Structure 1
C-alpha cells in the first residue's frame, strides 16, 4: 500500500484504504459494488487504483451528462450496468419564487441538517429559477417526508423524472495558467487574478474549500481533479498538469467557474 500512498496526500489515506476494500470485494466475490457519490478528486483516486486490477470495470453516472459528483459502479469486466443500477433519484424543490431566493449553500446545509451523509447527495443544480438535486435512492423518501423548510422558506420536495431535468446555467471555462508551484494560495491567486496575500487571507478566513471541505492551509499542494471553491469568487478544477516552462514554472489546464465574469 505504501507505493500507492506516495502518489496522494496524507489526508487521502483513509479513502484509499476504503477504495482498496471495494476493489478486493469485487475481485474476490465477482459481485459489483456501487459507490456513494464521489467528488472528481475521489473519482480520480478510484480510477488510479483500479488500473491495477485487470478484470474490474468502472462505470460512472451522476444523473446527467455534466455531473460533477458521480456514483461509480465497480464490476467484473463482463458486466454492463444500466441507469437503474446506479440508484439515483431526482428531487425538485418547490418554493415561492417571487418572495424567496435559494442558494446551493442553503440547500446543502438543510440536507446535511437532516442528519444524512454528504456522500448520499449528488449535484445540486439550478437554471437561475428552479432548483433540483440528485440523491441516493435509499434516502429520497426520508428527505421528502422530513424536509419542508430551507431556512425560513417553506418548501416542498417533489420527485421528478429524468425527462423533467433542467439545464444548469453554470458553465465552466477552460483556462491555461502558468504558476510557480501547486500550492493552494499560488493557484488561487493566478486563477482569479488576485494577489497571493489576498489568496492567503481568503484561506485564513475560512472562505476556501478543497473538494467541499474547508481548509486553512495555504501550503496544501493541489492534485489532479481537485475542486477548489472560494466564497464570492467561484470555483476551479485542476484538470491536468501540462508540463513546465523553460523557467521551470508549471503549466496547468484549469476549469474555472468565475462568479464575477
Structure 2
C-alpha cells in the first residue's frame, strides 16, 4: 500500500520523517522523542504508527488540551510518563502596569532566537499573564537569550508544568454554504469577505491551512482542516454535510477570534 496516497503531496517530506522515526524505534527498540508537532502533524504520525502492538505512541504538550504536542514513539515494553516529554514552562515577568504583550510578539521574539518553531509549544495568555512551553533541551539557551518581547524588557521564570494557565479561547459554531471547497471560496464564506479579498490574502501569504502557508487560491480544503488568516482569526471545518438544492456545499465550522 502506498502511504502517500492518504495525504497531500506537500506533506510528503514530513511523512518521510515520521517513517524514519518509526524505523528507528523498530530497529533500536528504544524510544524516540520528536519536537513539538502541530495537530495536523500529530494526526499524520498517529496514522503512520497505527495501532500495531509492537510500536506505541503518546502525545503531550505540557498541559491538558495543548494544541502543539511532542510525540513519544516507543516499543511496547516502555512505560511512558510526562517527564519523558522533556518540556519546560516559562512565564514572562515584565512591567504589566505599563505594557501589554500579544501572542504574535511572543512568537516573533522566540523565532528571532534562531531556533525552529518545533522547539516551542503553546503560547498561553490570560489577562496580563504570558507563558510558553519549550523543549527542555533548549531551555537554558532561551533563558539566556530572551530578554525582550515587543517593546517590553522581560525576564523569564521557570515554573512547574502544573502551574500552566488555561488560556481563554472563544469558539463559536457556524453553518455556511460555499460553491466549492477551494481555499479562497471557503475563506470568503467563513470570514464573510469578498472572493477578491480572500484571493488577495492567499496570494500575499497571509493565510494558512493546517499551520502551513498556502499561496494557491484553488487549494482544495476538507473536513478537519484548520484555516487561519492574518488579522481575521482561525476557523476549523468540522463537517462537510453534502450539497444543497442549489448545488452548494453545506459546511459546519468553528470560528475563533
State if a TM-score over 0.5 links the two structures.
yes
State how far apart, in whole Å, the 2-side matches of 1:153 and 1:197 are: 38
Instruction: Answer yes or no: is the 8 Å Cα contact 1:30–1:76 preserved in 2.
Output: yes
1:55-66 alignment runs, 5 A limit: 55-66=54-65
Give SS of 1:235's match: strand
State how far apart, in whole Å, the 1-side matches of 2:242 and 2:179 are: 10
TM-score, normalised to structure 2, is 0.90
State how far apart, in whole Å, the 1-side matches of 2:130 and 2:70 are: 21
Specify the alignment match of 1:15 in structure 2: 14
State how far apart, in whole Å, the 2-side matches of 1:43 and 1:176 are: 27
Identify the range of structure 1 (110-119 vs 92-101) with the bigger mean alpha-carbon deviation: 92-101
State how far apart, in whole Å, the 2-side matches of 1:231 and 1:73 are: 32
Instruction: Answer yes or no: is the 8 Å Cα contact 2:90–2:131 preserved in 1.
Output: yes
1:157-196 alignment runs, 5 A limit: 157-196=156-195
CA distance 1:109–1:32, change in 2 (3 Å): same
Give SS of 1:74's match: strand
* 2:243 is the counterpart of 1:245: yes
Instruction: Answer yes or no: is the 8 Å Cα contact 2:125–2:167 preserved in 1.
Output: yes
CA distance 1:219–1:28, change in 2 (3 Å): same
CA distance 1:252–1:16, change in 2 (3 Å): farther
Q: Point out where structure 1 has 5 or more consecutive residues left out of the alignment.
A: none
Specify the alignment match of 2:113 in structure 1: 114
CA-atom RMSD in angstroms = 2.1
Specify the alignment match of 1:83 in structure 2: 82
State how far apart, in whole Å, the 2-side matches of 1:63 and 1:174 are: 27
1:15-54 alignment runs, 5 A limit: 15-51=14-50, 53-54=52-53
State how far apart, in whole Å, the 2-side matches of 1:251 and 1:30 are: 47
Specify the alignment match of 1:74 in structure 2: 73
The superposition leaves residues 150-173 of structure 1 with CA deviations (integer Å, 9 ceiling, x where unpaired) of 233201111111232212012333
Give SS of 2:133's match: strand
Give SS of 2:20's match: helix
Give SS of 2:6's match: coil
